[in-house]
Amino acid sequence: MDRETNRKKSEASRLPVQRTVMRVSLIISLLFHVIVLLGVQKVFPLDWLNPLKTYRVELLRPPVDAFYDEKEAGTDLGRIRPREEKKPKKTEDTISLDTQDKRYVSYAKLIKERLIQQWEYPRQARENLIEGRVLAIFSLDRQGNLQDIRLLRSSDHTILDEETQRAIRDSAPFPPFPGSVTVQKLNIKAQFAYVLTTRRP
């Protein structure tokens, strides 16, 4: 029984000491935080007590005269300028049937095959031993329709020149442009060689 009462008395005597220690710790902590807050306030000032300042800004411009004369002012800065038109994309290109340009190689091959199917050596020219080379240029639209034919270099023989133009006309319409051909008009140079070869037995 005595032990229990002694224990209770010792606990009761410790209680005020613990409370004092707690109070002192709280006070020290509070002082420490106040000092830190004041230090931060000096480095990064915070206007807690001052109300936010507001400013009113008015943009002023001089009055515009309805009869303003640009010539007198010597400048055209106030004038609305028309929109500059973007440069149109390349709308046409010129290639030869033997082009190495990757965009046109497969299409040029189709054109060449179509021309070979229609092209013939005129019988009359063959019988009369007429030879020559014709350089022609013809234009196609995106759908493969023939637009025009011109001879860049004549063979000096009407029969060969006419056969070249006929072969091109009869080959049309050509296949539409593939996706790799982005122009609206394609000019194609084609050379037609009329050469007689002798066969040895």
Query: What is d(CA 189, CA 120) in angstroms, rounded to the nearest whole number?
Result: 18
Q: Which of 23-32, 40-49, 147-156 has the lowest mean pLDDT?
A: 40-49
Q: Which of 44-48, 95-99, 142-146 has the lowest mean pLDDT?
A: 44-48
User: Would you say 141 and 185 are in contact if contact means Cβ atoms under 8 Å apart?
Assistant: yes
Please report, to the nearest 10 degrees, the dihedral formed by the alpha carbons of residues 38, 44, 45, 48 taken in order.
Answer: -80
Average pLDDT over residues 122-127: 93
Q: Which residue has the higher pLDDT, 86 or 18?
A: 18
Give the 3-state secondary structure of residue 91.
coil
Query: What is d(CA 27, CA 83) in angstroms, rounded to the nearest whole number?
Result: 74
Q: From residue 158, how far is each of 123, 132, 184 by CA, in Å?
A: 14, 10, 32
> Domain-by-domain residue ranges, the chain?
92-194
| pLDDT value, residue 19 | 80
CATH topology assigned to domain 92-194:
TolA/TonB C-terminal domain (3.30.2420)
| pLDDT value, residue 113 | 95
Query: What is d(CA 52, CA 59) in angstroms, rounded to the nearest whole number?
Result: 23
Q: Report residue 109: phi and psi, to 5°.
A: -65, -40
Q: Which residue has the higher pLDDT, 125 or 59?
A: 125
Q: Which residue has the higher pLDDT, 52 or 113?
A: 113
Q: Which of 24-28, 134-138, 184-188 has the lowest mean pLDDT?
A: 24-28
Query: What is d(CA 35, CA 27) in angstroms, rounded to the nearest whole number?
Result: 12
- Is residue 193 predicted with pLDDT exceeding 80? yes
Q: Look up the pTM and report it.
A: 0.54
Average pLDDT over residues 81-90: 66
Most confident of the following: 73-82, 87-96, 151-160:
151-160
- Is residue 126 predicted with pLDDT exceeding 70? yes
Query: What is d(CA 32, CA 26) in angstroms, rounded to the nearest whole number?
Result: 10
Query: What is d(CA 138, CA 108) in angstroms, rounded to the nearest whole number?
Result: 13
User: Using one digit for the tens of pLDDT, what is the confidence trace for 13-33?
Assistant: 666 777 888 888 889 988 988
Q: Which residue has the higher pLDDT, 36 or 112?
A: 112
- Is residue 100 predicted with pLDDT exceeding 80? yes
Query: What is d(CA 166, CA 120) in angstroms, rounded to the nearest whole number?
Result: 10
